[in-house]
Amino acid sequence: MFRRGAALRRPLHVWQVPNTVASNPDIAPVVLVDELRLSASGRSLVALERWEIYPGERVAIVGPSGSGKTTFLQTLAGLRSPDAGRVIVDGQELGGMSEARRDVFRGRHIGFVHQTLHLVTALSVLDNLRLAAFVVGKQVPDRRLLDLLASVGLESRALARTIDLSHGEAQRVAIARALVNEPRLVLADEPTSALDDRNARVILELLFKITKERSAALVVATHDGRLIGSFDRRLELGNER
């Protein structure tokens, strides 16, 4: 059994609020990070002995720009390999997979929301959702995709061209798309940084709501101080470097 909670080695700090899921020993973590070391340009960014995320948890990765938030998130998504250590998502070690298998695994088990990289411009809103299922070889009925769009308040824009959407609308479509394959883990990289206060709050609440409805774990990389208090836990990067 892994040690509950985040075992953190300096220079990283963690602050955690009590979590009913995390305190249940029968529930397996969605993400388990073991002896992880990340660096960039010869600079150490992340050093974690053991760190876990449980279903339904909402975790904020915080820190100033360049602290390694995106690098850490990309490592959790299997988009980059760590310098050392293991990342296990949904019971599967990402490092043990071939690149192609890891790609498909990511598509099926991990939803990713980017800061500005939202939608494929050549496709309609609905086709962007269909694309998420198609690239991993899944068939998802349009009805369910429309339900997802409805859950982000955009069912009426299903056939709209993506270039006709506002930034906030595109971000909401991206959130809906991240959930098409019913992932156990949703990663969001600075999803609110380009939004005003009101829209930032709307997007975050939306992420909380729809991940909670699906018992998916949510990890959000942010340096947006307005939002940090809303998370169950936070992992702080970049201190005492």
Partner 1 sequence: MSLARLCLAYLRLRLGTTLLNVTLIATGVAILASILLVGSQLRDRVQREIRGIDLVVGAKGSPLQLILSTVFHLDVPTGNVSTAEVAFVRNHPLVARAIALAIGDSAWGYRIVGTEPELLEERGVSLAAGRLWQAPMEAVLGAEVARSTGLGIGARFVGSHGLGGGFAHTEHPYLVVGVAARTGTVTDRLILTSLESVWRVHAPRTPAAYEGQQGEVTALLVRYRTPLAAVQLPRLVNARPSLIAAVPAFEAARLLSIVGLGLEVLRFLGALLLAIAALAVLVALTNALSERRADLALMRTLGATRGLLIRALLLEAMLLTTSGLALGLVLAHLSVELLVRMLPEARVSGLSGLAVASGEIWLVPALLLLAIAAAAIPAVRLYRTNLLRILAQR
Contact residues toward partner 1 (CB under 8 A) are 70, 74, 77, 79-80, 99-100, 103-108, 112, 114-123, 127, 130-136, 177, 181
Q: What share of the chain is helix, strand, coil (3-state, %, to 5)?
A: 35, 25, 40
Identity at 7, one-letter amino acid code: A
Half-sphere exposure of 127 (CA within 13 A, CB side): 9
Is 84 or 122 the residue whose CB approaches partner 1 more closely?
A: 122
Is 12 or 126 the residue whose CB approaches partner 1 more closely?
A: 126
Distance CA(118)–CA(93), nearest Å, equals: 27
Is 161 or 226 the residue whose CB approaches partner 1 more closely?
A: 161
The residue whose two tokens read 């690239």 is: 135
Distance CA(96)–CA(5), nearest Å, equals: 25
Q: In angstroms, what is the minimal distance from the CB of 228 to partner 1?
A: 23
Torsion angle, alpha carbons of 18, 22, 26, 28, to 10: 180
Is 4 or 80 the residue whose CB approaches partner 1 more closely?
A: 80
For the record, the structure tokens of 210 come out as: 């729809």
Q: In angstroms, what is the minimal distance from the CB of 27 to partner 1?
A: 26
Q: Coil, strand or helix: which one is 201?
A: helix
Q: In angstroms, what is the minimal distance from the CB of 40 to partner 1?
A: 10
Is 54 or 112 the residue whose CB approaches partner 1 more closely?
A: 112
Q: In angstroms, what is the minimal distance from the CB of 131 to partner 1?
A: 6
183 phi-psi bin (left φ>0, alpha ψ -120 to 50, beta other): beta
Q: In angstroms, what is the minimal distance from the CB of 104 to partner 1?
A: 5
